[in-house]
Amino acid sequence: MMGKPFAEHLKELVTRKGIESSNVSVVEVNPDQSKHLETAKLKLLDIDLDFVNLRSEEYAANSRIPTGITYGTPLQDALRRDITINALFYNAHTREVEDFTKKGIDDLRHGIVRTPLAPRETFLDDPLRALRCVRFASRFGFSFADDLHHALKDTEIQDALVAKVSRERVGDELFKMMHGRSPLHALKLIHDADLWEAIFCTYPSDLSNKFEGPAAKYLAYRMSSTRRETPIEIRNLPLKYAAVLTSILEGPTSLPGLIDVHPRLTLSARDNPSCRGRLFLASALSPFIGTTYTDKKGKQVQAAEAAIRESLKMGTQSHMLDGVPPLFSAIRLLDSRTLRSSPNFSTKPERVALALLLREKVVHELNKGLHWTSTVLFSLLHELTAVYNLEEHIIDGPAASTIIEIYNALVTRVEQLGLVDVNDISPILNGGELQTLFNMGPGPWIARATEQVLEWQFEHPEGTQEECRTFMLTQRDTGKLDLSGPSKMQKQQTRKKASKV
Give 373-402 pLDDT, tens digit per residue.
999 999 999 999 999 999 999 999 999 999
Q: pLDDT at position 32, please?
A: 54
pLDDT over 50 (residue 60): no
The DSSP code for 309 is I
Name the more confident of 145 and 337.
145
Per the domain annotation, does 18 fall within a domain?
yes
Compute, in degrees rounded to 10, the torsion defined by CA atoms 472, 475, 478, 484. -90
pLDDT over 50 (residue 214): yes
Average pLDDT over residues 467-483: 96
Residue 151's nearest CA partner among 122, 171, 113, 177 is 122
Residues sharing a CB contact under 8 Å with residue 255, sequence separation 6 or more, in sequence order: 243, 244, 247, 393, 394, 395
Counting the structural domains of the chain, the total is 3
pLDDT over 60 (residue 141): yes
Q: pLDDT at position 55, please?
A: 74
Q: pLDDT at position 226, please?
A: 63
Per the domain annotation, does 145 fall within a domain?
no
Of 369, 395, 425, at which residue does a domain stop? Answer: 425
Instruction: Report the largest interatomic distance among the alpha carbons of the chain, rounded to a whole angstrom.
Output: 91
pLDDT over 90 (residue 2): no
pLDDT band, very low/low/confident/very high, at 227 (cuts 50, 70, 90): low
Name the more confident of 54 and 223.
54
Q: Are residues 327 and 448 in the same domain?
A: no
pLDDT over 50 (residue 501): no
Average pLDDT over residues 170-174: 97
Per the domain annotation, does 373 fall within a domain?
yes
Q: Which residue range is the domain that position 13 belongs to?
A: 1-53
Per the domain annotation, does 233 fall within a domain?
yes
Q: Are residues 411 and 290 in the same domain?
A: yes
Q: pLDDT at position 67, please?
A: 55
- Strand pairing report for 39-44 and 47-51: antiparallel
Q: pLDDT at position 320, please?
A: 96
Per the domain annotation, does 176 fall within a domain?
no
Q: pLDDT at position 203, please?
A: 87
Q: pLDDT at position 471, please?
A: 98
Q: Are residues 372 and 483 in the same domain?
A: no
pLDDT band, very low/low/confident/very high, at 117 (cuts 50, 70, 90): very high
Mean pLDDT is lowest, of 31-45, 157-171, 467-481, for 31-45
